[in-house]
Structure 1
């Protein structure tokens, strides 16, 4: 009987271990195949001019998944990914992608830079602060339909990597850095 209990426990443990990597925390067993569209000509999306070959990813939708033959509603856009090796200038900085905040109650997006494509003579206070985080910056906006570097629409810098987050309101160092970054962003936009 002891052998049976030990064998049964071992079998249950093996079955559980084999499932661990296959489980999705949202309840499904696979990652959603979000609908996306690859631009076939230069376009303006969320008030940003994007080149041919840009990948536009949309919210999960019924009966639409994977590659689409045409653009979907811009309101449902979650990500703009530029073709490999290409950038657009956002706030004087070459960027590779922009992603809407995952939390839909937050009005904003994260911008990802490629600082290897920013020459020293083009750097300014804003780009240097951004580069010091070595990651994306979270931008809060008034109008979620405008992802451009429009300082009249940008209401704050919410984050710069995981190092600086508005969420940690009691951390003066983080708040001061983000305040300085927001001021530098506004100065860059006024030039």
Structure 2
């Protein structure tokens, strides 16, 4: 699963244009985005993340690569947990949250590790999400909160490349996303 993650994410990025830290540079190189590795457990975008979490930020003229200090959360584009670790997001173990690439959209994509979801914790929401086998796009009201806060979640924007709000005329896709949003609202948050 981890080996395929970069390819799956790139495919999702290319097809949806919603996620990622992509910046066209005219070649095969990618920008050296500033990032910070947490040295202790801390609250980031209303999520408690463990030590060793990689926080990636927007490209910045004066900051490149690894940073010695955490940067402003307003610049944050990605939360990537340490290898093998997850946090609970809507009852699902997630290892990566990434802001939509399209700045016109307010939200992020959440990536789950379903191998860590025990059978007794499965819900209709987690089963629908798992059926997509990829990231779940969430639109939100407040950009400063990436937690599983149902009051802040406006909609389920996408589930992999198979289900997208973009395709308004495809009733199958819209019905699936409506059901996901409805089931998400039934989850008891902590």
TM-score when scaled to structure 2? 0.86
Task: Provide the rounded CA distance (Å) in 1 between the counterparts of 2:81 and 2:164.
Answer: 26
Does residue 1:27 correspond to 2:59, yes or no?
no
1:87 maps onto 2:86 in alignment: yes
* Higher RCO, 1 vs 2 (CA within 8 Å, ≥6 residues apart): 2
Contact 1:151 1:189 in 2 (8 A): no
Do residues 55 (structure 1) and 35 (structure 2) align? Answer: no
Q: What value does the CA root-mean-square deviation take over the aligned residues?
A: 1.4
CA distance in 2, matches of 1:161, 1:104: 19
Q: Secondary structure at the match of 1:180?
A: helix
Q: CA offsets per residue over residues 116-165 of structure 1, 9 Å max, x none?
A: 00011110010000000010100000001100000000000000000000
Deviations 1:74-132 (A, max 9, x none): 00000000000000000000000000000011000000000000011110010000000
Which structure's residues are more often helix, by fraction? Answer: 1
2:121 counterpart residue number: 122
Unaligned runs of 5+ in 1: 1-23
Q: How many residues align?
A: 168
Higher Cα radius of gyration: 1
Match of 2:20 in 1: none
Structure 1: 4+ residue segments shifted above 3 A: none
Matched with 1:168 is: 167
- Supply the distance in 1 between the matched residues of 2:140 and 2:127 (Cα, whole angstroms): 22
* Unaligned runs of at least 5 residues, structure 2: 1-22
Q: Compute the displacement of 1:29 (Å).
A: 5.6
Shift of 1:190: 6.4
TM alignment of 1:59-138, pairs within 5 A: 59-138=58-137
Distance apart, 1:63 and its partner CA: 1.5
